[in-house]
Amino acid sequence: MLPKLLAPAGNLDKLIMAVEYGADEVYFAGKTMGMRAGGKNFTSKDLEFGIDYCHKHGRKSNITVNIAPHNDDLQGLEEYLKYLQTIGADALIVADPGVIEVVKQTIPDMRIHLSTQANTTNFHSANFWYKQGVSRIVLARELSFPEIEAIVKNSPKELEFETFVHGAMCISYSGRCLLSSFMTGRYSNKGDCAQACRWKYNLVEEKRPGEYYPIDEDEEGTFIMNSKDMCMVEHLQKFKDLGITALKIEGRNKSEYYTAIAVRSYRNALDELEKPESERNTKYWKEEVEKSSHRDFSYGFFFGNPYKDGQLYTSSSYIRTYDVVGIIRSYDKLTGTCVIEQRNKFSEGDTLECFGPKGTHFEVIAKNMQDKDGNKIESAPHAQMTVKMDMDHEVEPYFILRKKVEE
C-alpha cells in the first residue's frame, strides 16, 4: 500500500490547492493552539469550509493543536476541542501530554496524532504514546532509515507512523527551540518563531566589544545555524518498504505555488512507485520541486547525520528560478480561451510554462491578452487582475502558469 500524502495549508486557498493537486490529507490550524502563529490560519468559518471541502473530495483533515501551552493557553480548550469534533475534524495533531489528556477526556473518540514536537526517537516512546491513546506518531526529523525501521518493527501493528519528507529543517530537535524566545521574546514553541537561526552571526571577544570577527571568511558573516531544506522525492520507495503510513510536506507559511508544486511532485512520484522502475519519472519530479522557492536541499538525517552537508553557512536566501504568473480559473473549449487570475506580471509574447496535477508541464506563448472587459492589453501588471488569453492546450481550473526568472 502506498503511504498517504499529507500537505500543509496556511489558509483556504492553499488547502484547496493541496486537495486539487492530490494530497490525501491536509493539516491546518485554527486561530489558536497551532505551531504557525505567523500564518493567517483559519477562522471558524474557514475551518468549517476547509473540513467540508476535504470530505467532499474524499480527503482527511488533520487540525494542529500542538503548541507547548502555558496555563493561560488552556483557557477554552475543552470548548474548542468539542467544536472541532462537531465540524468533523478527522484527527488532531497534539504534542503536549496535558492536552492529550484533555482530548481523551473531552472528545474520547477523536483520533490523536502525536506531533513531531514530541520528539519521538525510539520504540519505547512509541509504545508509551500508543498506550496513551495515540493512533499515529509523527516521528522526529532526526532519525535515520535504520532507526525508523527498528521503531516500526518494535511497535504495535495498529500504530501508524508519519515522517516529514520535504521542507524546512530546524537546528534544534524537531523545533524544540528557545533561541527565538531568548533573543526576541517570540516563543517558537507557541508557533511564533523568529527564525533567529537564519540570521547572520559574527564572533565578539569579551574584552573587545564592538569588534566583530567573521566566523568564516566571508564578507557577510556566517550563517552557523542555517539548515538546508529536506527533499526526499527521489527516495519514496524506502518509506513504502518500511511501512510508513503518511509522508508529510512542511510549509504552511509558503505560497499556493509551493503547495501545488510540492504536492504535485510527491503525488506523481508516489503513484509511479506502482510502475516498473524504468518507467518512473523521478528525475523530472526532483527538477520540478526545485522550481519552487527553496534553500539548498539535503536528505536530512535519513542516511545518517548530515554534519556539514546539512547546513549552509554562506546565506539563508531562497533559490527562486520561476515566478508563478497566474492561476487558471476557467477554460472555454469552444473558443480556446482561458480566464487567469494574475499573480506576477507577464506580457504578450512571453513564453510560459503551464501545469496541472497530473502529467508534465507544457509551454505556451501569452497571446491575445485581454482584460476582464475584453479590452486588448499588452501586459498584466496588477495584482490578482483578471486576464483572458488564448490557450492552445486544453486546461482546467487550478492549472498554474509560471515564468522563468530572468538572470
The Cα-based distances of 173 to 121, 142, 250, 277 in angstroms read 10, 7, 16, 35
Instruction: Give the span between the Cα atoms of 340 and 388, in whole angstroms.
Output: 6
What are the sequence ranges of the domains in the chain?
Answer: 4-173+226-310, 322-404
- The DSSP letter of residue 49 is H
Quote the pLDDT of residue 238.
97
Quote the pLDDT of residue 38.
53
- Domain 322-404: homologous superfamily in CATH: Translation factors (2.40.30.10)
Instruction: Give the span between the Cα atoms of 82 and 11, in whole angstroms.
Output: 22
Quote the pLDDT of residue 174.
66
For the chain, 407 residues long, the average pLDDT of each consecutive 10-residue run is 96 97 96 63 94 98 92 93 98 96 97 95 97 97 96 98 89 68 71 75 76 58 70 96 97 91 97 95 94 81 79 67 94 96 96 96 96 96 96 96 87
Instruction: Give the span between the Cα atoms of 271 and 273, in whole angstroms.
Output: 5
Quote the pLDDT of residue 222.
56
Task: Determine the Cα angle at 260 with ends 254 and 261, to 5°.
Answer: 90
Choose among 143, 165, 329, 138: nearest CA to 262: 165
Instruction: Give the span between the Cα atoms of 127 and 151, in whole angstroms.
Output: 9
Instruction: Give the span between the Cα atoms of 369 and 312, in whole angstroms.
Output: 43
Quote the pLDDT of residue 67.
87
Quote the pLDDT of residue 210.
78
Cβ 9 vs Cβ 64: under 8 Å: no
Instruction: Give the span between the Cα atoms of 361 and 234, in whole angstroms.
Output: 19
Amino acid identity of residue 187, one-letter, is: Y
Quote the pLDDT of residue 297.
76
- Domain 4-173+226-310: homologous superfamily in CATH: Copper homeostasis (CutC) domain (3.20.20.380)
Quote the pLDDT of residue 172.
67
Quote the pLDDT of residue 217.
45
Rg (CA), the chain: 23
User: First vs last Cα of the chain: how many Å apart?
Assistant: 44
Question: Up-side HSE of residue 178: CA atoms within 13 Å toward CB?
Answer: 1
pTM of the model: 0.86
Cβ 400 vs Cβ 359: under 8 Å: no
